[in-house]
A and B are shown apart, each in its own frame.
Chain A
Amino acid sequence: MKTFETIEHTADIGVRSFGATEEEAFENAAFGMFSLLADLELVSDEVEFPVIVEGEDRETLLVEWLNELLYIYESQGVILKKFHVSVLEDTRLEGSAWGGHIDPARHEIRTDIKAVTYYQLQVTRTEKGWIAEVIFDV
């Protein structure tokens, strides 16, 4: 099953991710976001970062989850490539992300993502599973 696809936007870019469960759709949205940033094949997954975020609804949780991961990327200088959402409740998400430190000689940052927006934000359930859609400000 396809994990994610990009959403084309003139000035910005987005990700539409898929999952058999809602947790998996969130994990794949994170994978999609970091795939826009760098070639994840070249990145290790040796460092783990626990993540806990809160938000008023599912869509807000998705934005908060991705914003938290971007913050880890920027503040710690790591590219994240593996994600696990362990708890997804109405207003709370708990999970982990794994990645490796950026080595400017090996890792080219392809696209700078400034932030995760609420524009056309959607978390929906279909017959085949879950779909999460989000647009980034780049």
Chain B
Amino acid sequence: MDLVEVNPYLWEIPRTGGMNVPGRIFADRQLMEKAREEKALEQVANVACLPGIVTASLAMPDIHWGYGFAIGGVAAFGMNDGVISPGGVGYDIACGVRLLRTDLLAPEIKTTIPGLVHELSRMIPAGVGRRGNMKLSPKELDDLMTGGVPWVIEQGLGRPEDVEAIEDGGVLDGADSSMVSARARERGFDQPGTLGAGNHFAEVQVVEEVFDPRAAAAFGIDKDQLCVMVHSGSRGLGHQVCTDYVKIMGPAAARAGISLPDRQLACAPISSREGREYYAAMACAVNFARCNRQVMTHLIRQSFEYVFKTPAERLGLELVYDVSHNVAKFEEHETEDGKVRLCVHRKGATRSFPAGHPDVPAGYREVGQPVIVPGDMGTASYLLKGTKESMSLSFGSTCHGAGRVMGRRAAKRMIQGHELKARLEAQGITVRAGSTRGLAEEAPEAYKDVNRVVDVCHRAGLSRKVAKLRPLGVVKG
């Protein structure tokens, strides 16, 4: 495949064949080498073939081989001539990350960390197919999917101010629960407040380094502070919504005369019945995912109260922000045709809106939107801020994580789960994992260097570094 180095952090796949726009990948030489070994670039080119795509088919520096879209993919479509694709959002709809800050200093409570991690692992149900303690009636599930986090807070699971620190105020408009299948509801009704498995985690972290004191101060972040990060998504409900609509959209694409380079790219015109119905169901799953993280936030606050014998409010535990990195949203962007409304798909990419943008919470509007990037469990995670440049470079998007470099089988062949646990504990990281094999799949060696990924985003202008967080304790499924 032809690849042109535009600058040290940007590569272009020129338009050929059925591509409607070029492909653009943000990466340095080393990250690009990795991406070239897989079929990720082919996937970027495939997305460029979809109707109504605007400007370019993009990929962030954590690009890796996915199914349909590459992971790290960003694609925007015109509202009149463009499509919406369930595969372009992914199975784990609104999978995302939230960060809580505390008033505690990590060095002062060092000896309490193992007990805290144990309590968190006891309180937060984790693992494959694990059910939660919240079992919603059909009416309550409807209310949760359409009312989002504000509804969950009305039930007493959170603080009113939490909604300010969630994209869309914690509730994505346009959700219609009648578009969510009985099977999706059955899979989800008892899963709010559950972590799941795979790369999902809850981590106790310490702020190791602050790069941008002004932004960090606005986000309430300072060196040595204890924080909690949660990475999870829409669980079985979201997976089923995607499964249901990928099936519907295969024939829908054929009826609309769209030829697909890959069946996983099944899509429908945004304004078609199938397109509108998918969006309404997806919005339900987006709200579900945010509510899932909100219920876990409540469980985290309860765990801290139990361990520190102090009301959660007095320990801080405020929500810094909550991002969704698998999602399609309607947003306004400047293009060659002026200001237009677009359907932006982010599949393993995070929104990165700049200072002054109306969608950035009032308290952060002078510095930009917080971007939370979870790393692998042995290295680090990052807090970044959105930039003005990202609006013209990537429809206001940046990376979502480190990105895998090693297959799961390969990781399990190379790394023993119990050895990894011992190694992490020797580094001072407490680990509570349901499955040691699952732990091995998520070993640091299986991931790209998150430091490099975040640096490339910083230099390319997609986001700016604010602070680096180091894990002290990990809870996994």
Contact = CB atoms under 8 A, between A and B. Distances in A.
Given A56-B251, A60-B247, A115-B91, A138 B67 contact: no
Contacts of B128: 109, 112
A137 B437 contact: no
Interface stretch (A19-27, A67-75, A92-100): A67-75
B136 interface: no
A59 interface: yes
Interface size class of chain A, counting residues whose CB lies under 8 Å from the partner chain: 35 or more
Contact of A10 (B246, B406, B435): B406
Interface in B229-279: 236, 239, 242-243, 246-247, 250-251, 262-264, 266
A138 B409 CA distance: 12
A110 B266 CA distance: 30
- Dominant secondary structure at the B interface: mixed
Contact of B435 (A63, A67, A110): A110
A112 B197 contact: yes
A95 B247 CA distance: 21
A100 to B, nearest CB: 16
A118 B435 contact: no
A108 interface: yes
Contacts of B318: none
B63 to A, nearest CB: 10
Interface residues of B, number: 44
Please indicate which of the listed interface residues B128, B246, B251, B435 has the most CB atoms of chain A within 10 Å of its own CB.
B128
B263 A121 contact: yes
A137 B65 contact: no
B64 A11 contact: yes
Interface string B62-80: 0011111001000000000
Interface in B185-244: 186-187, 196-198, 236, 239, 242-243
Given A112-B198, A119-B68, A137-B90, A10 B404 contact: yes
Contact of B65 (A10, A114, A115): A10
A114 B92 contact: yes
Contacts of B428: none
A129 interface: no
B92 A112 contact: no
A12 interface: yes
A109 B242 contact: no
B461 interface: no
A56 B250 CA distance: 9
Contacts of B408: 11-13, 111, 138
Interface in A103-127: 108-112, 114-121
B250 A110 contact: no
B2 to A, nearest CB: 23
Contacts of B441: 111
A115 B311 CA distance: 41
A8 interface: yes
Interface in B124-148: 127-129
B247 A64 contact: yes
Contacts of B266: 118
A82 to B, nearest CB: 21
B41 interface: no
B409 A13 contact: yes
Contact of A117 (B68, B198, B251, B407): B68
A137 B91 contact: yes
A60 B196 contact: no
Contact of B410 (A8, A12, A117, A118): A8
A77 B196 CA distance: 15
8 contacts: A10-B38, A10-B64, A11-B71, A77-B129, A111-B408, A115-B91, A117-B68, A138-B408
Interface of B: 38, 64-68, 71, 87, 90-92, 127-129, 183, 186-187, 196-198, 236, 239, 242-243, 246-247, 250-251, 262-264, 266, 404-410, 435, 437-438, 441, 477
3 closest residue pairs by CB, A with B: A119-B67, A118-B263, A112-B197
Given A9-B65, A118-B246, 12 more contacts: A55-B247, A74-B129, A110-B438, A111-B437, A112-B477, A117-B91, A118-B266, A119-B262, A120-B67, A135-B67, A137-B91, A137-B92
